[in-house]
Amino acid sequence: MDVTVTQSKVEGRARAPPSKSYTHRAILAAGYADGALIRQPLSSADTRATMRAVEQFGGSVTQDDDTIEVDGFDGRPAVPADVIDCANSGTTMRLTTATAALADGTTVLTGDSSLRSRPHGPLLDAIAQLGGTARSTRDNGQAPLVIDGPISGGPVEIPGDVSSQFITALLMAGAVTANGIDLTVTTELKSTPYVDVTLDVLDEFGVTARPRSHGYSVAGGQYYEPTDGEYTVPGDFSSASYLLAAGAVAGDEEVVVTGAFPNPQGDTAIVSILEAMGAAVEWNEADGVVRVRGSTLTGTTVDVGDTPDLLPTIAVLGAVAEGTTRIENCEHVRYKETDRVSAMAEALTTLGAVVDEQQDVLTVHGGESDLEGARVGGRGDHRIVMALAIAGLVADGATTISDAEHVDVSFPDFFDVLYDLGATVEN
């Protein structure tokens, strides 16, 4: 599906959608439990993939308008009767690869063409260290994956510079093993706040896991059980970043984003990044409200080692800002749904921005850029699509974005929200 965004001003009030990261973890945690009620979850293509996986491991999932009720498999996943199709959800595949290692038998996981190009080798190696067998059918570390269990826990080493989701997967599964897991991270850990999110969810479900020197540890024999059998998902700062960026670059009056309460999400950094670029932004943490007004932005330097999902948003802000914006420590952002570094460099260049791309750095010369509407590729990636829609608010003329339906991965009503804020949006 193509969506066209024409240069527009925005104002008004919008709510940050529920967190995709928290929703994934809460659904699987409820699966590891006897069961739980999840309130205010994100219902999206990705989170539905995790729901289906929980069902294939022996749980059952019932979804209503604002709740998900899970009847879990109580720490003992069944061997799935069929291949688990994770669709486009890398989080689903990585987290449930470790779940599969608990089952007494063979599990096969696959996904769409994009997901089948993403790396999983370090997680497969970790499962082998723990006594399971895990392989890629093509011997390249990419799905389809074949996992044989059960594992009982123990020490394991894993690099931290490919995906923090590997560590999340092992911590969540390790809590229900006999021996627990002592995990040593052998390289710099990228995206550390996502592991902090995992620790937060585990704590809410009554599971203790903790950082230790050069790694993490989770004791075995634990039970997943949230207080009163319920868990409420917080708002998503990754998704809120597009709304806040829209207000900063195209605000006529205030854009007010609600549901933005403090939590371990690394992407809360979008507020401080906007401040560093000179945006008129104010975050009332107690009320969970962020206000932002149209502002003259200046370039800055941002390290996205812990906030990879913000790169597309920051790149667009840099294209609008005066001066130069340098996005550093971004090589791991190339291993998402698409190579987001290359995707943003290509699309912004098409729109008239001056961009330099290196393996680990993306530099946007906003002072030399003059954005004009054009047709750009969404690359089948929800974050690329949403970021380019924000660029369309300020580009001269109309910007047409392909693959726009992929916003369903994390922010299904994104274009409706943008329209309600005053943007000119056409399917």
233: amino acid identity, one letter: V
Indicate the DSSP class of residue 415: H
Summarize pLDDT for 295-332 with one digit per residue, the tens: 999 999 999 999 999 999 999 999 999 999 999 999 99
The residue range of the domain holding 395 is 3-17+235-426
User: Within this chain, do residues 126 and 215 fall inside the same structural domain, yes or no?
Assistant: yes
User: What does the alpha-carbon distance between residue 45 and residue 47 come to, in Å, rounded to a whole number?
Assistant: 6
User: Within this chain, do residues 178 and 227 fall inside the same structural domain, yes or no?
Assistant: yes
User: Within this chain, do residues 275 and 131 fall inside the same structural domain, yes or no?
Assistant: no
Whether the Cβ atoms of residue 242 and residue 414 lie closer than 8 Å to each other? yes
* Distance, first Cα to last Cα, the chain: 7
User: Within this chain, do residues 215 and 308 fall inside the same structural domain, yes or no?
Assistant: no
389: amino acid identity, one letter: A
The whole-number pLDDT of residue 178 equals 97
132: amino acid identity, one letter: G
Q: Where in the sequence numbering do the catalytic residues fall? A: 309
Boundary-marking domain end, from 170, 199, 232: 232
Whether the Cβ atoms of residue 30 and residue 229 lie closer than 8 Å to each other? no
Boundary-marking domain end, from 194, 210, 232: 232
Q: Is the pLDDT of residue 86 over 90?
A: yes
User: Within this chain, do residues 403 and 310 fall inside the same structural domain, yes or no?
Assistant: yes
User: What does the alpha-carbon distance between residue 380 and residue 382 come to, in Å, rounded to a whole number?
Assistant: 7
Number of structural domains (the chain) is: 2
The whole-number pLDDT of residue 65 equals 86
User: Within this chain, do residues 228 and 367 fall inside the same structural domain, yes or no?
Assistant: no
Indicate the DSSP class of residue 77: P
Boundary-marking domain end, from 203, 232, 261: 232
Question: In the structure encoding, which two tokens stand for residue 105, read together?
Answer: 């038998």
Q: Is 241 annotated as a binding residue?
A: no
121 — phi, psi (to 5°)?
A: -50, -45
Q: Length of the chain in residues, anyone? A: 427
Q: Is 340 annotated as a binding residue?
A: yes
Give the mean pLDDT of the chain. Answer: 97
User: Within this chain, do residues 130 and 150 fall inside the same structural domain, yes or no?
Assistant: yes
Q: Percent of the chain, pLDDT > 90?
A: 99
User: What does the alpha-carbon distance between residue 180 and residue 178 come to, in Å, rounded to a whole number?
Assistant: 6
Q: Is the pLDDT of residue 427 over 90?
A: no
User: Within this chain, do residues 243 and 228 fall inside the same structural domain, yes or no?
Assistant: no
Return the CATH number at 284.
Answer: 3.65.10.10
Whether the Cβ atoms of residue 335 and residue 120 lie closer than 8 Å to each other? no
Q: Is 381 annotated as a binding residue?
A: no
The whole-number pLDDT of residue 409 equals 93
Average pLDDT, integer, range 43-62: 97
User: What does the alpha-carbon distance between residue 334 and residue 348 come to, in Å, rounded to a whole number?
Assistant: 16
Q: Is the pLDDT of residue 28 over 90?
A: yes
The whole-number pLDDT of residue 146 equals 98
Q: Is 336 annotated as a binding residue?
A: yes
The whole-number pLDDT of residue 220 equals 98
The whole-number pLDDT of residue 13 equals 97
Question: In the structure encoding, which two tokens stand for residue 99, read together?
Answer: 């779940």
User: Within this chain, do residues 212 and 73 fall inside the same structural domain, yes or no?
Assistant: yes
User: What does the alpha-carbon distance between residue 240 and residue 245 come to, in Å, rounded to a whole number?
Assistant: 9
Question: In the structure encoding, which two tokens stand for residue 85, read together?
Answer: 């199709």
User: Within this chain, do residues 149 and 285 fall inside the same structural domain, yes or no?
Assistant: no
Whether the Cβ atoms of residue 363 and residue 337 lie closer than 8 Å to each other? no
Summarize pLDDT for 210-260 with one digit per residue, the tens: 999 999 999 999 999 999 999 999 999 999 999 999 999 999 999 999 999
